[in-house]
Every structure is written in structure tokens, then in C-alpha cells.
Amino acid sequence: MNCKETTRFLHGYLDAELALGDALAVEEHLQGCPRCRTHHANLRAVQTAVRRHIEHHAAPASLRARLAARYGDEDGSTAASTRRWSGVAAAGAAALLLAAVWIGAGSVDDRSKRAAQLPAKVVVHISQSGSATAALRNLANHLEASPGTTVVVVAHNEGVDFLMRGARDASGQLYESAVAKLKSRGVDFRICGNTLVRLKFDSGQVIPAATLVPSGVAEISRLQTQEGYAYLRL
Amino acid sequence: MGRPLPEQQKRKRFERLVLPHSGTAYNLAIWLVRNEAQAEEAVQEAYLRAFQYFDAFRGENARPWLLRIVRNTCYTLIARNRELGEPDVFDEGDHGEETVAPGAVVSFPANPETAAIESADRELVQRCVGALPAEFREVVILRELQECSYKEISAIAEIPIGTVMSRLARGRRLLEVALDRHVERKETGT
């Protein structure tokens, strides 16, 4: 893949919308091209800045109540939907990461619904710094909904951050305790050795709960092709 | 068009599939119309329309379908307010559409600094995203805030996936430059 093609694919790569083959080709090009690497780093920085800081506007309670009263099932709809909201909120909050930013009951509900439909063996790919909080929360919700699922988390690229000793989420909570909780529920955490070398991390900086694998991408494709895992980017 | 559902059944289904997305709907609305009262108005109108057309909705995932209605409602509302001569909710300098027409050639500084972009704060990000022209702002919001896939964005904004990608690319490029430039200004105090 040359620079021109890479530039064209870079956003799809950033958004995990590429087929694995294209993603690997982009990765290979980035390894050898400082210019495209800078371009990629900048785009990643823009994405991280926007995701970290952009304001989630919660719908006013009065608006929710009006909509529920008008369009809810007539038999005490407001009470029923309030009960459901608080149920979802409580499950999410109790499961993990109390300090996670609450982005409105609508999307939390979406996520748990999506999670409930997941297949039995799942490899979760975390490749972005800052996406771990939401990913871990989704995972906890998912395990709540279907406890029998086998889950492997593969951290790769900037996504390795949360598995480093002392790493904290945006609200100052240690990731390590969230990881330990999930691990106690059977979730396996694997971290990409190539990334550690590239980002000049020492393996001693990685929390003990995570297992080192030589290549995150190879691990993901092995789990998918040889062990029948479904791929999921949370 | 589907056969109309019995009223009670329709309400139950609507309550289950559409009502839970009011938070997402409001969030998109406020980022499009940039004003709380108008966002509430847009969401209420959108729900009214959604309920009206709900018989024709198939499937279980109503979020993209609802957001598409919300988006349309927001743009109708913006156009209506312009016609009525109501003051635009944008600040003059915030509008963006006059300053950067889609496809216009903009001279970008050669090398925005990754570190500068990373140091952007909350206030700067709101300002820069808010200043994006609407067609870029909506894809950025749908992608980064609502975490929609390209396919969902394509359905919501009624544009081909290729256009989703080019608008995202353009939007992010504008943000890259804007964030870099503002951070620089702040540092040099100009």
C-alpha cells in the first residue's frame, strides 16, 4: 500500500471499519512511513480530544417525562419506563466503573441491548487510548446479560494504555481494579508485544492480570479463524 | 407500507424500541440546532413524526431510523427559523458555513503538532466542533459522540458511505487545524 492509498484508508482504519486485510496493509505502511505515521497520530489525537472532551447533552427530565406520557403504553407507562431506566443504570453502575461518564440512558440502553445479542465466544479488540472505559463497561453489561460468554480482550496500539501499572481512567479510577473484576469473571486480557516494543514500554510496566502475546493482530486473526471467535470492537 | 398495528400494540412496541432513544435524539438535536429550547422542540416534533410513521418501521434497531427523523426535523426547523427571520442561534464567528464552504480550498499550515492537538481542552473542543459547517459537524457527532458505524451514518444522513468517509476526513482535517491553531495562539498569547 502506498501513501496515497493509506491516506484514503486512514479514517476507516481509525474507525475500525476496514477489513482485516486492509487494516494490516495500513499498519504495515505506517511502520515504514514517518509522514503517514504523523498524519495518523494527528488524526488519532483529534479523535481522542473530541471523544474525551465533547459534551454529552442529557435530555431534560421534563422532556423524557413528556415523551413517556405521550407515547408510552397507557397503563402507567411513565412508572414502567422509569423503573426500567433505573434498572439499567443500576446494573451498569454496580457491575463496574462507577465513575464512568453517564451519557444518557438512551445510549446505555442501546449498549446493553447490543451486548445481549453477542455470540458465545468473543474477541474484543481495544486499539485506542481512551476507549477502554466504555469497552470495559460494555463488557460488564454484556456479562451481566449473558454470563456464559467466553471473552478475550486483545489490547493493541494505543489501546494498550489501560493495561499499564497505575493507569487511570478520565475520572481518576485505576483501570487495574476494573480489569481484576472482569478477570475474576473469566475475561482474559492479552496485550500486543509488538506494540510494547514500538511504544518503548517495558513488559514490567504491564499489570500482572494481562498476558503478553507476540502480536495482537495475529492473535485476533488466530482466535477468529482457528477458534471461531467473533470479532468485536467496543 | 405496513398494515396499521392495533393502537395498544403499536404503543407497546414504540415504547420498547423508540422511547429509550430520547437521550441520543436530544444529544444529536442540540449539536445540530445549537440551542436547548429548539433541540427540545425538534425532539418532540421528531417523536410525533416517528409515531406517525411507526407502522412502516420494520426491524428491532430503531435508533438510526429515529436519528434520521431527528436530523430532518432539525434542518427543517433551522430553515423555518431562517425564513421567519428569527435570529440565528450561531454567533457570527461561530457559524463556519460562510468561512469554509464545502470543497473550498483552505490553506492549511504544513505540520500541525500532535502534542498541540492532544493538549486541547474541553472548552476548545466544544468551540471547534460547534464551528464546523453542519455537514461535517453531523458526521463527526454521529461517529465520535453517538458511536455510529459508517453504515448507520449513511442511513441517518442519507448520503453514500463514500461521502460519509470524505466528510469525516474533511471534518477531522478542519478540527486538526483548528485545534492546533488555537492551542498555539493560547501559548503565544495572541
pLDDT of the residue at A234 = 66
CB A185 within 8 A of CB A145: no
Q: Which of B12, B125, B150 sits opposite A50 (nearest CB)?
A: B125
Chain B residue with minimum CA distance to A56 = B27
Chain A residue numbers touching B18 (CB-CB < 8 A): 71
Chain A closest-CA separation from residue B168 CA (Å): 8
Measuring CA to CA, how many Å separate B158 from each of A85, A99, B76?
31, 36, 15
Task: List every span in chain B annotated with CATH 1.10.1740.10.
Answer: 7-83
Contact: A58, B26; criterion CB under 8 Å: yes
Q: Which of B19, B25, B165 sits opposite A81 (nearest CB)?
A: B19
Chain A closest-CA separation from residue B24 CA (Å): 6
Architecture of domain B7-83: Orthogonal Bundle (1.10)
Strand-pairing partners, residue A174, are A168
Chain B residue numbers touching A6 (CB-CB < 8 A): none
Chain B closest-CA separation from residue A83 CA (Å): 12
Measuring CA to CA, how many Å separate A123 from each of A151, A185, A193, B32, B59?
6, 15, 17, 36, 27
State how far the Cα of B64 lies from the Cα of B168, in Å rounded to an integer: 18
Task: List every span in chain B annotated with CATH 1.10.10.10.
Answer: 92-188
Taking Cα atoms as reference points, which of B74, B146, B130 lies closest to residue B97?
Answer: B130
The CB-side HSE value for A22 (13 A sphere, CA atoms) comes to: 15
Residue A225: how many CB atoms within 10 A of its CB? 10
Residue for grid cell 438535536: B29
Chain B residue with minimum CA distance to A105 = B23
Give yes or no for A38 touching B (CB within 8 A): yes
Report residue A78 as a C-alpha cell. 411513565
Strands (E), A42-113: none
pLDDT of the residue at B101 = 45
State how far the Cα of A211 lies from the Cα of A207, in Å rounded to an integer: 9
**pLDDT of chain A along its 234 residues, tens only?**
899 999 889 999 999 898 888 888 999 999 999 999 999 999 999 999 999 899 888 888 889 888 988 887 654 444 444 434 343 433 333 333 322 323 333 344 444 444 444 458 888 888 887 778 888 888 887 777 777 788 999 998 888 989 988 888 877 788 998 899 899 888 999 999 888 888 878 888 889 889 988 889 889 888 988 888 888 876
Q: For residue B19, give the DSSP letter.
A: G
CATH number listed for the domain at residues B92-188: 1.10.10.10
Give yes or no for A59 touching B (CB within 8 A): yes
The domains of chain A, with CATH numbers, are 3-53 (no CATH), 61-233 (3.40.1260.10)
ipTM of the complex: 0.80
Encode pLDDT of B66-105 as tens digits: 999 999 999 999 988 887 765 554 443 443 333 444 444 4
Is it the case that residue B109 has pLDDT exceeding 90?
Answer: no
Residue for grid cell 477489513: A19
Burial of B39 (0-12, 13-18, 19+ CB in 10 A): buried
Strand-pairing partners, residue A192, are A213
